[in-house]
Amino acid sequence: MSIVSKFKTLLTGNFGFTALAKSSDLVLKFGILLFFMIFRENTDLVFYTYFLSLGAILGAIFDWGGARYNVRVMIDKGVLPLNLTSIGISTLVFFLIYEFDIVKYYSFSFLILCVIYGITLGWINTFIKYYEYINNNKELYRFQVFINVSCSVAIALLVILGAELYYAFIVLIIGNITLIGICFYINKGGVKFVLSITLIYKGIPFLINTLAVMAFSQVNIVILNQVGTDYEVSNFILAQRIMEVSLMLPNSYTSSVIGKFFKGQINVVDIQKKTFKLWFVSFLACLVAAGVIAYVFPNYNIVIYLFLLLIPLGYVRSMSMSYSIILDYTKYYLVRTFSIAVILLLNISLARFVLELPNGLYYFSLYIGILISLLVVVYKVTFKKYNIYEMYHS
């Protein structure tokens, strides 16, 4: 096979569509921020990203671990369930936030839109996990790319025209609902809504895992938003988003080939080696981008320093994806659940203290890297002690 043929196969296969989908998703999370930097104040940038982060956290809570648990049910029964339990959970969470002011929110309507956005995200994540498992990501992502691009164009226009950001939030929700409808259409008879009470206790380990992963992205943004200034929050958000851009290629690769590991067609060590190479090249390109942004935009002059402090976060997140997915399908996933829950609690309980130190934003960025590095230690010890790779295929 010629180099051109291999390149064409790569682009039109799982990796190509996965990379496109993650790229278009990053446009919504990062590319749109460039429009805010040019046309809006720091406050609007913080407002937009706070909606995305709080909505993602709520989505994980409403899903209650269902995205991973439901794929296991599908393996046994052949039908992919979407849990209506999320509706009840979302109602309870909305009441708790609204009555007790648990997290910062901007208005009643803002919180309502966050809840709706979270519910749709939870269901979409189930489809994502399903297509990853069957190693057919492109079936979903070819539609997600189109929807993400359409939403990005619409939101960019709203930002340029100075429209209220609530319209941008509505655009995101409509995009999610459209994608869910498409997934039902292309999986006729293979998807159904269920009211699974057993998920309340069986989904807890998966819920903890999901929230803990978010502890190094969405949760940190929400925590910082409670105590930081718009200047601090916007610079940290931008640094973290740039780091997420560096993770797009390596995580796309892992997501697109992990199904081959389950079939015994590829070695995880080989996956991790290629993942690191992809991340390192992406990191260097993003470092240049961070330097350019810090030079061109005075309001974001510390973004490059924060980006460099987040290096451990980028490295570990590029490596940990293969570990975590494999553990999800073994009896040792509770080891991951316990360790990741401890890290999550340390992050939430001590973050405010770290941020209140002199130059606390820099120490906060370092603290995140230290915490997530502990997770890789747990992974390596667990996989070596229990021979996870060998045990899975035996």
Q: State the pTM of this model.
A: 0.75
Of 85, 193, 82, 67, the C-alpha closest to 130 is 67
pLDDT confidence of residue 75: 65
Output 198 or 16, whichever has higher pLDDT. 198
Same-domain pairing of 165 and 226: no
Q: Is 4 a domain residue?
A: no
Same-domain pairing of 220 and 209: yes
Q: In the predicted model, is pLDDT for residue 110 greater than 50?
A: yes
Same-domain pairing of 219 and 301: yes
pLDDT digits 0-9 by tens, 340-369? 788 878 888 888 888 888 888 899 888 888
pLDDT confidence of residue 199: 74
pLDDT confidence of residue 30: 76
Averaged pLDDT for residues 200-216: 74
The answer to whether 198 and 64 have CB atoms below 8 angstroms apart is: no
The answer to whether 338 and 317 have CB atoms below 8 angstroms apart is: no
> What does the buried/exposed string (b/e) look like for 189-212 if buried means 16 or more CB atoms within 10 Å of the residue's CB?
eebeeeebeebeebbebbbbbbbb
Q: In the predicted model, is pLDDT for residue 194 greater than 80?
A: no
Q: Is 247 a domain residue?
A: yes
Domain boundary among the residues 141, 167, 202 is at: 202
pLDDT confidence of residue 305: 93
Domain boundary among the residues 185, 202, 219 is at: 202
Q: How confident is the prediction for the chain on average, in pLDDT?
A: 81
Measured distance CA(81)–CA(147) in Å, rounded:
23
pLDDT confidence of residue 59: 85
Same-domain pairing of 258 and 220: yes
Output 298 or 197, whichever has higher pLDDT. 298
pLDDT confidence of residue 10: 44
pLDDT confidence of residue 3: 46
| Percent of the chain scoring above 70 in pLDDT | 91
Domains in the chain: how many in total? 2
pLDDT confidence of residue 237: 87
Q: Is 169 a domain residue?
A: yes
pLDDT confidence of residue 392: 66
Domain boundary among the residues 183, 202, 221 is at: 202
Same-domain pairing of 230 and 160: no
Same-domain pairing of 39 and 107: yes
Same-domain pairing of 159 and 212: no
Averaged pLDDT for residues 145-168: 91
Output 265 or 155, whichever has higher pLDDT. 155
Confidence band for 281, pLDDT divided at 50, 70 and 90: very high
Averaged pLDDT for residues 16-43: 78
Q: Is 297 a domain residue?
A: yes
Same-domain pairing of 73 and 154: yes
Q: In the predicted model, is pLDDT for residue 109 greater than 60?
A: yes
pLDDT confidence of residue 15: 64
pLDDT confidence of residue 135: 67
pLDDT digits 0-9 by tens, 231-252? 888 899 889 889 988 988 888 8
pLDDT confidence of residue 13: 54
Same-domain pairing of 171 and 224: no
- Number of separate helices (H) and strands (E) present in the chain: 20, 2
pLDDT confidence of residue 306: 92
pLDDT confidence of residue 201: 79
Domain span including residue 216: 204-394
Q: In the predicted model, is pLDDT for residue 144 greater than 50?
A: yes
Say how many C-beta atoms besides its own lie within 10 A of residue 162's C-beta.
Answer: 9
Same-domain pairing of 165 and 214: no
pLDDT confidence of residue 291: 94
170: exposed, middle or buried (C-beta count within 10 Å: 0-12, 13-18, 19+)? middle
pLDDT confidence of residue 167: 95
pLDDT confidence of residue 7: 40
Q: In the predicted model, is pLDDT for residue 307 greater than 70?
A: yes
Same-domain pairing of 140 and 108: yes
Q: In the predicted model, is pLDDT for residue 73 greater than 80?
A: no
Q: Is 151 a domain residue?
A: yes
Confidence band for 393, pLDDT divided at 50, 70 and 90: low
Same-domain pairing of 212 and 276: yes
Q: Is 127 a domain residue?
A: yes
**What letter represents residue 72's amino acid?**
R
Q: Is 8 a domain residue?
A: no
Q: Is 6 a domain residue?
A: no
